[in-house]
Structure 1
Protein backbone atom coordinates (compact mmCIF):
# COMPACT_ATOMS: atom_id res chain seq x y z
CA UNK A 1 0.00 0.00 0.00
CA UNK A 2 2.79 2.41 0.88
CA UNK A 3 4.58 1.61 -2.38
CA UNK A 4 1.36 2.14 -4.34
CA UNK A 5 0.75 5.48 -2.61
CA UNK A 6 4.29 6.63 -3.43
CA UNK A 7 3.78 5.55 -7.04
CA UNK A 8 0.51 7.51 -7.31
CA UNK A 9 2.12 10.55 -5.70
CA UNK A 10 5.07 10.42 -8.09
CA UNK A 11 2.72 10.15 -11.07
CA UNK A 12 1.08 13.41 -10.04
CA UNK A 13 4.34 15.38 -9.97
CA UNK A 14 4.35 16.27 -13.71
CA UNK A 15 0.77 17.49 -13.45
CA UNK A 16 1.60 19.62 -10.41
CA UNK A 17 4.65 21.05 -12.11
CA UNK A 18 2.58 22.03 -15.15
CA UNK A 19 -0.16 23.58 -13.00
CA UNK A 20 2.27 25.57 -10.84
CA UNK A 21 4.20 26.61 -13.91
CA UNK A 22 1.02 27.97 -15.54
CA UNK A 23 0.05 29.74 -12.31
CA UNK A 24 3.48 31.37 -12.06
CA UNK A 25 3.27 32.42 -15.71
CA UNK A 26 -0.21 33.88 -15.18
CA UNK A 27 0.93 35.71 -12.04
CA UNK A 28 3.85 37.17 -14.00
CA UNK A 29 1.54 38.34 -16.80
CA UNK A 30 -0.83 39.96 -14.28
CA UNK A 31 1.85 41.62 -12.13
CA UNK A 32 4.21 42.77 -14.88
CA UNK A 33 2.14 45.88 -15.84
CA UNK A 34 2.20 46.97 -12.19
CA UNK A 35 5.96 46.41 -12.02
CA UNK A 36 6.45 48.27 -15.29
CA UNK A 37 4.41 51.23 -14.01
CA UNK A 38 6.32 51.55 -10.76
CA UNK A 39 9.72 51.03 -12.38
CA UNK A 40 8.96 53.57 -15.13
CA UNK A 41 8.20 56.19 -12.47
CA UNK A 42 11.88 55.98 -11.46
CA UNK A 43 13.31 56.27 -14.99
CA UNK A 44 14.48 59.21 -17.06
CA UNK A 45 13.70 59.75 -20.74
CA UNK A 46 16.63 57.67 -22.03
CA UNK A 47 15.80 54.65 -19.90
CA UNK A 48 12.14 54.81 -20.89
CA UNK A 49 12.83 54.92 -24.63
CA UNK A 50 15.46 52.17 -24.46
CA UNK A 51 13.14 49.86 -22.53
CA UNK A 52 15.36 49.24 -19.52
CA UNK A 53 13.54 47.07 -16.97
CA UNK A 54 15.75 46.00 -14.07
CA UNK A 55 16.83 48.75 -11.64
CA UNK A 56 20.51 49.01 -10.68
CA UNK A 57 21.29 46.66 -13.56
CA UNK A 58 19.76 48.27 -16.64
CA UNK A 59 19.28 51.74 -15.14
CA UNK A 60 19.88 53.78 -12.01
CA UNK A 61 16.57 54.78 -10.35
CA UNK A 62 15.82 58.49 -10.44
CA UNK A 63 13.09 60.60 -8.82
CA UNK A 64 12.29 62.50 -12.03
CA UNK A 65 8.76 61.14 -12.40
CA UNK A 66 7.84 61.72 -8.77
CA UNK A 67 9.55 65.11 -8.77
CA UNK A 68 7.38 66.23 -11.68
CA UNK A 69 4.24 65.74 -9.57
CA UNK A 70 5.78 67.09 -6.36
CA UNK A 71 5.90 63.76 -4.55
CA UNK A 72 9.66 63.13 -4.43
CA UNK A 73 11.55 63.30 -1.09
CA UNK A 74 13.28 66.56 -2.07
CA UNK A 75 10.02 68.30 -3.07
CA UNK A 76 7.50 66.89 -0.60
CA UNK A 77 8.19 69.67 1.91
CA UNK A 78 8.02 72.46 -0.68
CA UNK A 79 5.09 74.21 -2.30
CA UNK A 80 4.15 72.40 -5.48
CA UNK A 81 1.35 73.27 -7.89
CA UNK A 82 1.51 69.79 -9.40
CA UNK A 83 1.12 68.14 -5.98
CA UNK A 84 -1.81 70.40 -5.10
CA UNK A 85 -3.53 69.44 -8.33
CA UNK A 86 -2.84 65.76 -7.68
CA UNK A 87 -4.31 65.96 -4.18
CA UNK A 88 -7.39 67.73 -5.52
CA UNK A 89 -7.92 65.05 -8.19
CA UNK A 90 -7.26 62.37 -5.59
CA UNK A 91 -9.89 63.92 -3.32
CA UNK A 92 -12.39 64.04 -6.19
CA UNK A 93 -11.80 60.36 -6.94
CA UNK A 94 -12.16 59.36 -3.28
CA UNK A 95 -15.36 61.33 -2.74
CA UNK A 96 -16.98 60.25 -6.01
CA UNK A 97 -16.03 56.57 -5.63
CA UNK A 98 -16.97 56.15 -1.96
CA UNK A 99 -20.20 58.15 -2.18
CA UNK A 100 -21.40 56.45 -5.36
CA UNK A 101 -20.53 53.00 -4.03
CA UNK A 102 -22.29 53.60 -0.71
CA UNK A 103 -25.38 54.92 -2.50
CA UNK A 104 -25.36 52.01 -4.95
CA UNK A 105 -25.09 49.45 -2.13
CA UNK A 106 -28.01 51.03 -0.24
CA UNK A 107 -30.28 51.22 -3.29
CA UNK A 108 -29.06 47.97 -4.84
CA UNK A 109 -29.47 45.97 -1.63
CA UNK A 110 -33.05 47.16 -1.28
CA UNK A 111 -33.83 46.29 -4.90
CA UNK A 112 -32.10 42.91 -4.62
CA UNK A 113 -34.00 42.06 -1.43
CA UNK A 114 -37.26 42.84 -3.16
CA UNK A 115 -36.35 40.69 -6.17
CA UNK A 116 -35.32 37.84 -3.88
CA UNK A 117 -38.28 37.85 -1.49
CA UNK A 118 -41.27 39.14 -3.47
CA UNK A 119 -42.86 38.37 -6.83
CA UNK A 120 -43.24 41.25 -9.28
CA UNK A 121 -44.99 41.61 -12.58
CA UNK A 122 -44.30 44.48 -14.96
CA UNK A 123 -46.20 43.71 -18.13
CA UNK A 124 -44.77 40.43 -19.45
CA UNK A 125 -41.69 40.77 -17.22
CA UNK A 126 -41.21 38.76 -14.04
CA UNK A 127 -38.47 38.81 -11.42
CA UNK A 128 -35.90 37.03 -13.57
CA UNK A 129 -36.64 39.32 -16.50
CA UNK A 130 -36.28 42.40 -14.30
CA UNK A 131 -32.97 41.10 -12.96
CA UNK A 132 -31.72 40.49 -16.48
CA UNK A 133 -32.85 43.98 -17.46
CA UNK A 134 -30.55 45.44 -14.82
CA UNK A 135 -27.66 43.28 -16.00
CA UNK A 136 -28.31 44.23 -19.61
CA UNK A 137 -27.43 47.83 -18.77
CA UNK A 138 -23.79 46.74 -18.65
CA UNK A 139 -23.95 45.67 -22.30
CA UNK A 140 -24.74 49.20 -23.47
CA UNK A 141 -21.55 50.96 -24.69
CA UNK A 142 -20.84 54.13 -22.67
CA UNK A 143 -20.31 56.18 -25.84
CA UNK A 144 -23.99 55.68 -26.71
CA UNK A 145 -24.91 57.64 -23.58
CA UNK A 146 -22.46 60.48 -24.21
CA UNK A 147 -24.81 62.90 -25.95
CA UNK A 148 -27.87 62.26 -23.71
CA UNK A 149 -25.84 62.80 -20.55
CA UNK A 150 -24.18 65.93 -21.94
CA UNK A 151 -27.54 67.48 -22.76
CA UNK A 152 -29.15 66.34 -19.49
CA UNK A 153 -26.27 67.51 -17.30
CA UNK A 154 -26.14 70.85 -19.06
CA UNK A 155 -29.83 71.42 -18.38
CA UNK A 156 -29.47 70.35 -14.75
CA UNK A 157 -26.22 72.33 -14.21
CA UNK A 158 -24.37 69.16 -13.21
CA UNK A 159 -21.44 69.47 -15.60
CA UNK A 160 -18.08 69.53 -13.84
CA UNK A 161 -19.60 68.78 -10.43
CA UNK A 162 -18.93 66.02 -7.92
CA UNK A 163 -22.62 65.35 -7.41
CA UNK A 164 -22.97 64.75 -11.15
CA UNK A 165 -20.22 62.12 -11.09
CA UNK A 166 -21.66 60.50 -7.96
CA UNK A 167 -25.10 60.10 -9.54
CA UNK A 168 -23.64 58.74 -12.77
CA UNK A 169 -21.29 56.33 -11.03
CA UNK A 170 -24.18 55.09 -8.90
CA UNK A 171 -26.13 54.21 -12.04
CA UNK A 172 -23.02 52.60 -13.51
CA UNK A 173 -22.37 50.12 -10.68
CA UNK A 174 -25.96 49.58 -9.55
CA UNK A 175 -26.59 46.52 -11.80
CA UNK A 176 -23.53 44.73 -10.39
CA UNK A 177 -24.60 45.45 -6.83
CA UNK A 178 -28.12 44.16 -7.50
CA UNK A 179 -26.87 40.89 -8.96
CA UNK A 180 -24.36 40.26 -6.17
CA UNK A 181 -26.84 41.06 -3.42
CA UNK A 182 -29.68 39.10 -5.00
CA UNK A 183 -27.52 35.97 -4.87
CA UNK A 184 -26.70 36.78 -1.26
CA UNK A 185 -30.34 37.09 -0.23
CA UNK A 186 -31.28 33.92 -2.14
CA UNK A 187 -28.92 31.90 0.09
CA UNK A 188 -30.50 33.16 3.33
CA UNK A 189 -33.32 30.82 4.47
CA UNK A 190 -36.72 32.44 4.41
CA UNK A 191 -37.58 30.59 7.62
CA UNK A 192 -35.32 32.93 9.60
CA UNK A 193 -37.41 35.94 8.58
CA UNK A 194 -40.64 34.08 9.17
CA UNK A 195 -39.51 33.22 12.68
CA UNK A 196 -38.66 36.88 13.29
CA UNK A 197 -42.11 37.92 12.06
CA UNK A 198 -43.74 35.40 14.41
CA UNK A 199 -41.74 36.94 17.27
CA UNK A 200 -43.26 40.31 16.50
CA UNK A 201 -40.75 41.92 14.14
CA UNK A 202 -41.93 43.96 11.19
CA UNK A 203 -40.62 43.32 7.68
CA UNK A 204 -38.07 46.11 7.99
CA UNK A 205 -37.09 45.02 11.48
CA UNK A 206 -36.51 41.46 10.30
CA UNK A 207 -34.47 42.75 7.40
CA UNK A 208 -32.28 44.97 9.57
CA UNK A 209 -31.83 42.52 12.47
CA UNK A 210 -31.73 39.14 10.71
CA UNK A 211 -31.01 39.43 7.00
CA UNK A 212 -28.63 42.38 6.92
CA UNK A 213 -25.99 40.95 9.32
CA UNK A 214 -25.92 37.67 7.37
CA UNK A 215 -25.65 39.45 4.02
CA UNK A 216 -22.99 41.89 5.25
CA UNK A 217 -20.03 40.08 3.59
CA UNK A 218 -21.77 40.36 0.23
CA UNK A 219 -22.45 44.04 0.81
CA UNK A 220 -18.79 44.61 1.64
CA UNK A 221 -17.73 42.77 -1.52
CA UNK A 222 -20.20 44.74 -3.64
CA UNK A 223 -18.98 47.99 -2.08
CA UNK A 224 -15.31 47.19 -2.74
CA UNK A 225 -15.95 46.19 -6.35
CA UNK A 226 -18.01 49.34 -6.86
CA UNK A 227 -15.21 51.49 -5.46
CA UNK A 228 -12.70 49.88 -7.82
CA UNK A 229 -14.94 50.36 -10.86
CA UNK A 230 -15.70 53.98 -9.98
CA UNK A 231 -12.06 54.71 -9.18
CA UNK A 232 -10.91 53.47 -12.60
CA UNK A 233 -13.69 55.08 -14.65
CA UNK A 234 -12.31 57.44 -17.29
CA UNK A 235 -14.80 58.00 -20.12
CA UNK A 236 -17.54 59.90 -18.30
CA UNK A 237 -15.06 61.68 -16.02
CA UNK A 238 -13.28 63.05 -19.09
CA UNK A 239 -16.56 63.85 -20.83
CA UNK A 240 -18.46 65.57 -18.02
CA UNK A 241 -15.68 67.31 -16.08
CA UNK A 242 -13.16 69.99 -16.96
CA UNK A 243 -11.69 71.70 -13.91
CA UNK A 244 -13.41 71.29 -10.56
CA UNK A 245 -14.47 67.63 -10.57
CA UNK A 246 -11.73 66.07 -12.70
CA UNK A 247 -10.55 62.72 -11.32
CA UNK A 248 -7.22 60.90 -11.23
CA UNK A 249 -7.69 58.81 -14.42
CA UNK A 250 -8.29 62.01 -16.38
CA UNK A 251 -5.19 63.60 -14.86
CA UNK A 252 -3.10 60.54 -15.74
CA UNK A 253 -4.27 60.62 -19.34
CA UNK A 254 -3.47 64.34 -19.62
CA UNK A 255 0.30 63.85 -19.26
CA UNK A 256 0.96 64.62 -22.90
CA UNK A 257 2.47 67.67 -24.53
CA UNK A 258 3.93 69.00 -27.75
CA UNK A 259 7.07 66.92 -27.18
CA UNK A 260 5.15 63.68 -26.69
CA UNK A 261 4.08 61.67 -23.65
CA UNK A 262 5.77 62.28 -20.31
CA UNK A 263 6.01 58.60 -19.47
CA UNK A 264 7.76 59.13 -16.14
CA UNK A 265 5.11 61.59 -14.93
CA UNK A 266 2.29 59.38 -16.17
CA UNK A 267 3.86 56.36 -14.47
CA UNK A 268 4.29 58.24 -11.19
CA UNK A 269 0.67 59.39 -11.25
CA UNK A 270 -0.51 55.91 -12.20
CA UNK A 271 1.52 54.35 -9.38
CA UNK A 272 0.06 56.80 -6.89
CA UNK A 273 -3.44 56.16 -8.25
CA UNK A 274 -3.30 52.35 -8.12
CA UNK A 275 -1.60 52.13 -4.71
CA UNK A 276 -4.93 52.49 -2.79
CA UNK A 277 -6.44 49.70 -4.92
CA UNK A 278 -3.46 47.46 -4.24
CA UNK A 279 -3.86 48.07 -0.51
CA UNK A 280 -7.57 47.28 -0.74
CA UNK A 281 -6.85 44.08 -2.66
CA UNK A 282 -4.25 42.90 -0.15
CA UNK A 283 -6.06 43.64 3.11
CA UNK A 284 -9.67 43.09 2.03
CA UNK A 285 -9.20 40.10 -0.27
CA UNK A 286 -10.93 37.71 2.14
CA UNK A 287 -14.03 39.89 2.24
CA UNK A 288 -14.17 40.05 -1.56
CA UNK A 289 -13.78 36.29 -1.95
CA UNK A 290 -16.21 35.52 0.88
CA UNK A 291 -18.82 37.88 -0.49
CA UNK A 292 -18.57 36.66 -4.08
CA UNK A 293 -18.57 32.94 -3.19
CA UNK A 294 -21.31 33.05 -0.56
CA UNK A 295 -24.01 32.59 -3.18
CA UNK A 296 -22.21 29.85 -5.12
CA UNK A 297 -23.28 27.02 -2.80
CA UNK A 298 -27.02 26.50 -2.40
Structure 2
Protein backbone atom coordinates (compact mmCIF):
# COMPACT_ATOMS: atom_id res chain seq x y z
CA UNK A 1 0.00 0.00 0.00
CA UNK A 2 1.34 3.41 -0.93
CA UNK A 3 1.78 6.25 1.54
CA UNK A 4 -1.09 8.20 -0.08
CA UNK A 5 -3.55 5.29 0.23
CA UNK A 6 -2.53 4.76 3.87
CA UNK A 7 -3.11 8.40 4.74
CA UNK A 8 -6.47 8.28 2.92
CA UNK A 9 -7.55 5.28 5.00
CA UNK A 10 -6.56 7.08 8.21
CA UNK A 11 -8.52 10.15 7.07
CA UNK A 12 -11.62 8.06 6.36
CA UNK A 13 -11.31 6.31 9.74
CA UNK A 14 -11.05 9.72 11.38
CA UNK A 15 -14.19 10.87 9.61
CA UNK A 16 -16.09 7.76 10.73
CA UNK A 17 -14.90 8.21 14.30
CA UNK A 18 -15.86 11.89 14.24
CA UNK A 19 -19.31 11.09 12.84
CA UNK A 20 -19.82 8.41 15.49
CA UNK A 21 -18.86 10.80 18.27
CA UNK A 22 -21.16 13.50 16.90
CA UNK A 23 -24.04 11.01 16.70
CA UNK A 24 -23.34 9.76 20.23
CA UNK A 25 -23.25 13.27 21.69
CA UNK A 26 -26.39 14.26 19.79
CA UNK A 27 -28.32 11.27 21.12
CA UNK A 28 -27.10 11.89 24.68
CA UNK A 29 -28.03 15.58 24.55
CA UNK A 30 -31.48 14.70 23.18
CA UNK A 31 -32.07 12.10 25.91
CA UNK A 32 -31.01 14.43 28.71
CA UNK A 33 -33.07 17.25 27.23
CA UNK A 34 -36.17 15.02 27.25
CA UNK A 35 -35.45 13.86 30.81
CA UNK A 36 -34.92 17.44 31.96
CA UNK A 37 -38.17 18.53 30.31
CA UNK A 38 -40.07 15.67 31.95
CA UNK A 39 -38.48 16.48 35.33
CA UNK A 40 -39.68 20.06 35.05
CA UNK A 41 -43.19 18.86 34.22
CA UNK A 42 -43.24 16.46 37.19
CA UNK A 43 -41.80 18.94 39.71
CA UNK A 44 -43.75 21.99 38.55
CA UNK A 45 -46.89 21.22 40.65
CA UNK A 46 -44.73 20.97 43.77
CA UNK A 47 -42.94 24.22 42.86
CA UNK A 48 -46.26 25.97 42.20
CA UNK A 49 -47.69 24.76 45.52
CA UNK A 50 -44.63 25.82 47.50
CA UNK A 51 -44.42 29.28 45.91
CA UNK A 52 -48.16 29.94 46.09
CA UNK A 53 -48.07 29.47 49.87
CA UNK A 54 -45.90 32.64 50.01
CA UNK A 55 -48.03 34.76 47.65
CA UNK A 56 -50.54 37.50 48.32
CA UNK A 57 -53.94 37.46 46.62
CA UNK A 58 -52.93 39.74 43.69
CA UNK A 59 -49.84 37.61 43.01
CA UNK A 60 -52.00 34.49 42.77
CA UNK A 61 -54.51 36.11 40.45
CA UNK A 62 -51.82 37.60 38.20
CA UNK A 63 -50.00 34.28 37.91
CA UNK A 64 -46.64 35.52 39.21
CA UNK A 65 -44.26 32.59 39.30
CA UNK A 66 -40.71 33.60 40.31
CA UNK A 67 -40.22 34.82 43.90
CA UNK A 68 -38.19 38.01 44.41
CA UNK A 69 -38.56 38.66 40.66
CA UNK A 70 -42.30 38.68 39.98
CA UNK A 71 -43.36 39.17 43.59
CA UNK A 72 -42.08 39.56 47.15
CA UNK A 73 -42.73 36.40 49.21
CA UNK A 74 -44.93 36.77 52.29
CA UNK A 75 -45.95 34.34 55.03
CA UNK A 76 -49.68 34.80 54.35
CA UNK A 77 -50.50 31.12 53.69
CA UNK A 78 -48.44 29.80 56.61
CA UNK A 79 -49.74 32.51 58.93
CA UNK A 80 -53.29 31.33 58.27
CA UNK A 81 -52.25 27.90 59.60
CA UNK A 82 -50.36 29.27 62.59
CA UNK A 83 -47.07 27.98 61.15
CA UNK A 84 -45.33 31.26 60.24
CA UNK A 85 -42.31 32.47 62.26
CA UNK A 86 -44.41 35.13 64.03
CA UNK A 87 -47.24 32.73 64.97
CA UNK A 88 -45.47 29.43 65.63
CA UNK A 89 -45.00 30.28 69.32
CA UNK A 90 -48.51 31.64 69.79
CA UNK A 91 -51.54 29.52 70.61
CA UNK A 92 -53.46 28.76 67.42
CA UNK A 93 -56.70 26.84 67.01
CA UNK A 94 -56.04 26.30 63.30
CA UNK A 95 -52.58 24.85 63.99
CA UNK A 96 -54.02 22.49 66.61
CA UNK A 97 -56.62 21.34 64.10
CA UNK A 98 -53.93 20.85 61.46
CA UNK A 99 -51.78 18.76 63.83
CA UNK A 100 -54.80 16.68 64.79
CA UNK A 101 -55.68 15.91 61.20
CA UNK A 102 -52.01 15.34 60.36
CA UNK A 103 -51.91 12.72 63.13
CA UNK A 104 -55.11 11.12 61.78
CA UNK A 105 -53.62 10.89 58.28
CA UNK A 106 -50.30 9.53 59.56
CA UNK A 107 -51.86 6.88 61.80
CA UNK A 108 -54.43 5.65 59.28
CA UNK A 109 -52.02 5.66 56.31
CA UNK A 110 -49.13 3.96 58.13
CA UNK A 111 -51.29 1.38 59.88
CA UNK A 112 -53.33 0.46 56.80
CA UNK A 113 -50.24 0.29 54.56
CA UNK A 114 -48.37 -1.92 57.02
CA UNK A 115 -51.40 -4.18 57.47
CA UNK A 116 -51.95 -4.41 53.71
CA UNK A 117 -48.30 -5.33 53.10
CA UNK A 118 -48.41 -7.99 55.82
CA UNK A 119 -51.63 -9.60 54.59
CA UNK A 120 -50.85 -9.07 50.92
CA UNK A 121 -47.40 -10.65 51.23
CA UNK A 122 -48.88 -13.80 52.75
CA UNK A 123 -51.56 -14.01 50.05
CA UNK A 124 -49.06 -13.31 47.27
CA UNK A 125 -46.63 -15.94 48.58
CA UNK A 126 -49.37 -18.54 48.57
CA UNK A 127 -50.43 -17.64 45.02
CA UNK A 128 -46.84 -17.80 43.77
CA UNK A 129 -45.87 -21.09 45.46
CA UNK A 130 -49.00 -23.25 45.79
CA UNK A 131 -51.80 -24.34 43.47
CA UNK A 132 -55.33 -23.49 44.56
CA UNK A 133 -58.68 -24.56 43.19
CA UNK A 134 -62.00 -22.95 44.15
CA UNK A 135 -64.61 -24.31 41.78
CA UNK A 136 -63.56 -23.16 38.32
CA UNK A 137 -61.04 -20.67 39.72
CA UNK A 138 -57.31 -21.35 39.64
CA UNK A 139 -54.39 -19.18 40.74
CA UNK A 140 -54.57 -16.76 37.77
CA UNK A 141 -58.33 -16.40 38.27
CA UNK A 142 -57.90 -15.74 41.99
CA UNK A 143 -55.23 -13.12 41.28
CA UNK A 144 -57.48 -11.41 38.77
CA UNK A 145 -60.35 -11.53 41.27
CA UNK A 146 -58.27 -9.50 43.71
CA UNK A 147 -57.35 -7.02 41.00
CA UNK A 148 -60.96 -6.77 39.82
CA UNK A 149 -61.90 -5.20 43.16
CA UNK A 150 -60.31 -1.99 41.85
CA UNK A 151 -62.72 -1.83 38.92
CA UNK A 152 -65.67 -0.62 41.00
CA UNK A 153 -65.68 3.17 41.45
CA UNK A 154 -65.70 4.28 45.11
CA UNK A 155 -69.10 5.98 44.77
CA UNK A 156 -70.71 2.56 44.18
CA UNK A 157 -69.45 1.39 47.57
CA UNK A 158 -70.39 4.58 49.40
CA UNK A 159 -73.88 3.58 50.58
CA UNK A 160 -73.02 -0.03 51.60
CA UNK A 161 -70.02 1.12 53.64
CA UNK A 162 -71.99 3.97 55.17
CA UNK A 163 -74.75 1.60 56.33
CA UNK A 164 -72.26 -1.04 57.48
CA UNK A 165 -70.09 1.38 59.42
CA UNK A 166 -73.12 2.99 61.06
CA UNK A 167 -74.36 -0.39 62.27
CA UNK A 168 -70.88 -1.35 63.56
CA UNK A 169 -70.20 2.01 65.21
CA UNK A 170 -67.15 2.68 63.01
CA UNK A 171 -68.22 6.06 61.65
CA UNK A 172 -65.73 8.85 62.38
CA UNK A 173 -63.12 6.45 63.81
CA UNK A 174 -59.53 5.80 62.84
CA UNK A 175 -59.97 2.03 62.99
CA UNK A 176 -62.78 2.33 60.45
CA UNK A 177 -60.54 4.17 57.99
CA UNK A 178 -57.66 1.75 58.62
CA UNK A 179 -59.80 -1.28 57.78
CA UNK A 180 -61.26 0.37 54.68
CA UNK A 181 -57.90 1.62 53.41
CA UNK A 182 -56.39 -1.83 53.93
CA UNK A 183 -59.07 -3.35 51.72
CA UNK A 184 -58.52 -0.60 49.16
CA UNK A 185 -54.79 -1.14 48.61
CA UNK A 186 -54.64 -4.89 49.33
CA UNK A 187 -55.18 -5.95 45.67
CA UNK A 188 -52.29 -3.75 44.51
CA UNK A 189 -49.99 -5.16 47.18
CA UNK A 190 -50.92 -8.73 46.25
CA UNK A 191 -50.06 -8.18 42.58
CA UNK A 192 -46.80 -6.43 43.37
CA UNK A 193 -45.64 -9.07 45.84
CA UNK A 194 -46.79 -11.97 43.68
CA UNK A 195 -44.37 -10.85 40.96
CA UNK A 196 -41.68 -10.29 43.58
CA UNK A 197 -42.01 -13.79 45.06
CA UNK A 198 -42.27 -15.29 41.58
CA UNK A 199 -38.81 -13.94 40.75
CA UNK A 200 -37.25 -15.75 43.73
CA UNK A 201 -36.03 -19.32 42.94
CA UNK A 202 -37.94 -22.08 44.70
CA UNK A 203 -34.63 -23.91 45.29
CA UNK A 204 -33.98 -21.58 48.22
CA UNK A 205 -37.05 -22.82 50.07
CA UNK A 206 -36.34 -26.42 49.16
CA UNK A 207 -32.86 -26.11 50.63
CA UNK A 208 -34.32 -24.52 53.77
CA UNK A 209 -36.86 -27.34 54.13
CA UNK A 210 -34.08 -29.90 53.78
CA UNK A 211 -32.21 -28.11 56.58
CA UNK A 212 -35.23 -28.59 58.85
CA UNK A 213 -37.11 -25.31 58.54
CA UNK A 214 -40.88 -25.27 58.20
CA UNK A 215 -42.76 -23.47 55.43
CA UNK A 216 -43.30 -20.48 57.71
CA UNK A 217 -39.67 -20.60 58.83
CA UNK A 218 -38.42 -20.56 55.25
CA UNK A 219 -40.85 -17.77 54.38
CA UNK A 220 -39.85 -15.56 57.31
CA UNK A 221 -36.09 -16.17 57.38
CA UNK A 222 -35.23 -16.76 53.72
CA UNK A 223 -37.85 -15.30 51.40
CA UNK A 224 -38.93 -12.12 53.18
CA UNK A 225 -35.40 -10.64 53.47
CA UNK A 226 -34.91 -11.18 49.73
CA UNK A 227 -38.32 -9.69 48.94
CA UNK A 228 -37.76 -6.65 51.20
CA UNK A 229 -37.25 -4.14 48.32
CA UNK A 230 -40.56 -5.17 46.78
CA UNK A 231 -42.29 -4.91 50.16
CA UNK A 232 -40.92 -1.40 50.66
CA UNK A 233 -42.07 -0.40 47.15
CA UNK A 234 -45.54 -1.80 47.86
CA UNK A 235 -45.61 -0.04 51.24
CA UNK A 236 -44.69 3.34 49.71
CA UNK A 237 -47.30 2.98 46.96
CA UNK A 238 -49.93 2.05 49.56
CA UNK A 239 -48.84 4.95 51.75
CA UNK A 240 -49.24 7.45 48.91
CA UNK A 241 -52.69 6.13 47.97
CA UNK A 242 -54.03 6.06 51.55
CA UNK A 243 -52.45 9.37 52.54
CA UNK A 244 -54.12 11.17 49.62
CA UNK A 245 -57.50 9.40 49.81
CA UNK A 246 -60.35 11.90 50.05
CA UNK A 247 -63.70 10.35 49.13
CA UNK A 248 -64.16 7.87 51.98
CA UNK A 249 -62.45 10.17 54.48
CA UNK A 250 -65.00 12.86 53.69
CA UNK A 251 -67.89 10.38 53.69
CA UNK A 252 -67.15 8.36 56.82
CA UNK A 253 -65.65 11.00 59.11
CA UNK A 254 -66.88 14.29 60.50
CA UNK A 255 -64.85 15.48 63.50
CA UNK A 256 -62.58 13.02 65.27
CA UNK A 257 -60.96 11.07 62.39
CA UNK A 258 -60.95 13.67 59.60
CA UNK A 259 -57.75 13.57 57.55
CA UNK A 260 -55.63 16.19 55.79
CA UNK A 261 -57.17 15.86 52.29
CA UNK A 262 -60.55 16.77 53.77
CA UNK A 263 -59.01 19.79 55.47
CA UNK A 264 -57.34 20.87 52.22
CA UNK A 265 -60.65 20.70 50.36
CA UNK A 266 -62.32 22.82 53.05
CA UNK A 267 -60.17 25.90 52.35
CA UNK A 268 -63.05 27.75 50.73
CA UNK A 269 -65.20 30.57 52.00
CA UNK A 270 -67.79 33.11 50.97
CA UNK A 271 -65.10 35.12 49.17
CA UNK A 272 -63.76 32.14 47.20
CA UNK A 273 -60.83 29.79 47.56
CA UNK A 274 -57.95 30.78 49.82
CA UNK A 275 -55.25 29.63 47.42
CA UNK A 276 -52.39 30.65 49.71
CA UNK A 277 -53.86 28.70 52.66
CA UNK A 278 -54.65 25.70 50.48
CA UNK A 279 -51.14 25.76 49.01
CA UNK A 280 -49.48 25.95 52.43
CA UNK A 281 -51.65 23.15 53.75
CA UNK A 282 -51.07 21.02 50.63
CA UNK A 283 -47.30 21.48 50.79
CA UNK A 284 -47.27 20.57 54.48
CA UNK A 285 -49.30 17.47 53.59
CA UNK A 286 -47.05 16.24 50.76
CA UNK A 287 -43.76 17.05 52.50
CA UNK A 288 -43.73 13.79 54.55
CA UNK A 289 -44.23 11.75 51.36
CA UNK A 290 -41.32 13.56 49.72
CA UNK A 291 -39.09 12.79 52.71
CA UNK A 292 -40.14 9.12 52.73
CA UNK A 293 -39.52 8.83 49.00
CA UNK A 294 -36.03 10.34 49.28
CA UNK A 295 -35.04 8.18 52.26
CA UNK A 296 -36.32 4.93 50.75
CA UNK A 297 -35.33 5.63 47.15
CA UNK A 298 -32.81 2.77 46.98
CA UNK A 299 -35.46 0.26 48.05
CA UNK A 300 -37.85 1.57 45.42
CA UNK A 301 -35.22 1.17 42.71
CA UNK A 302 -34.36 -2.36 43.85
CA UNK A 303 -38.04 -3.30 43.94
CA UNK A 304 -38.62 -1.98 40.43
CA UNK A 305 -35.48 -3.70 39.11
CA UNK A 306 -36.65 -6.98 40.60
CA UNK A 307 -39.97 -6.74 38.76
CA UNK A 308 -41.96 -5.80 41.84
CA UNK A 309 -43.63 -2.79 40.20
CA UNK A 310 -45.12 -2.97 36.73
Q: Shorter-normalised TM-score: what interval?
A: over 0.9
Q: Distance in 1 between matches of 2:186 and 2:274?
A: 36
When the two structures are aligned, how many residues end up with a matched partner?
297
Retained in 1: the 8 A contact 2:196–2:308? no
Identify the residue that residue 63 of structure 2 maps to in structure 1. 51
CA displacement at 1:67 relative to structure 2: 0.3
Please give the residue correspondences for 1:15-30 in structure 2 after superposition, counting only pairs within 5 Å.
15-30=27-42
Match of 1:151 among 142, 159, 163: 163
Identify the residue that residue 104 of structure 2 maps to in structure 1. 92
Identify the residue that residue 282 of structure 1 maps to in structure 2. 294
Q: Distance in 1 between matches of 2:229 and 2:147?
A: 21
| 2:225 paired with 1:207 | no
| 2:232 paired with 1:220 | yes
| 2:135 paired with 1:123 | yes
Q: Distance in 1 between matches of 2:14 and 2:204?
A: 50
Match of 2:186 among 168, 174, 187: 174
* Deviation readout 1:39-89 (Å, 9 max, x if unpaired): 000011111111111111111000010000000000001100000000000
Structure 2, gaps ≥5 residues long = 1-12
| 2:279 paired with 1:252 | no
Match of 1:160 among 169, 172, 189: 172
Q: Distance in 2 between matches of 1:99 and 1:63?
A: 34
* Deviation readout 1:171-226 (Å, 9 max, x if unpaired): 01101110111111111111111111111111111111111111111111111111
Deviates more, 1:277-286 or 1:234-243: 277-286
Structure 1, gaps ≥5 residues long = none
* Equivalent position SS for 1:212: helix
| 2:125 paired with 1:113 | yes
Identify the residue that residue 276 of structure 2 maps to in structure 1. 264
Q: Distance in 1 between matches of 2:28 and 2:210?
A: 54
CA displacement at 1:2 relative to structure 2: 5.5
Given the superposition, is the C-alpha separation of residues 145 and 296 from structure 1 closer, same or farther in structure 2, using an over 3 Å criterion? closer
TM-score, normalising length from structure 2?
Answer: 0.93
CA displacement at 1:139 relative to structure 2: 1.9
Q: Distance in 2 between matches of 1:64 and 1:222?
A: 37
Q: Distance in 2 between matches of 1:171 and 1:11?
A: 52
Q: Distance in 2 between matches of 1:169 and 1:176?
A: 12
* Equivalent position SS for 2:264: helix
* Equivalent position SS for 1:12: helix
Deviates more, 1:285-294 or 1:141-150: 285-294
Please give the residue correspondences for 1:227-238 in structure 2 after superposition, counting only pairs within 5 Å.
227-238=239-250
Identify the residue that residue 43 of structure 2 maps to in structure 1. 31
TM-score, normalising length from structure 1?
Answer: 0.97
Retained in 2: the 8 A contact 1:180–1:292? no
CA displacement at 1:296 relative to structure 2: 6.8
* Greater radius of gyration (CA): 2
* Equivalent position SS for 2:292: helix
* Equivalent position SS for 2:227: helix
Please give the residue correspondences for 1:1-16 in structure 2 after superposition, counting only pairs within 5 Å.
1=13, 3-16=15-28
Retained in 2: the 8 A contact 1:186–1:295? no
* Deviation readout 1:148-175 (Å, 9 max, x if unpaired): 1111111111111000000000001101
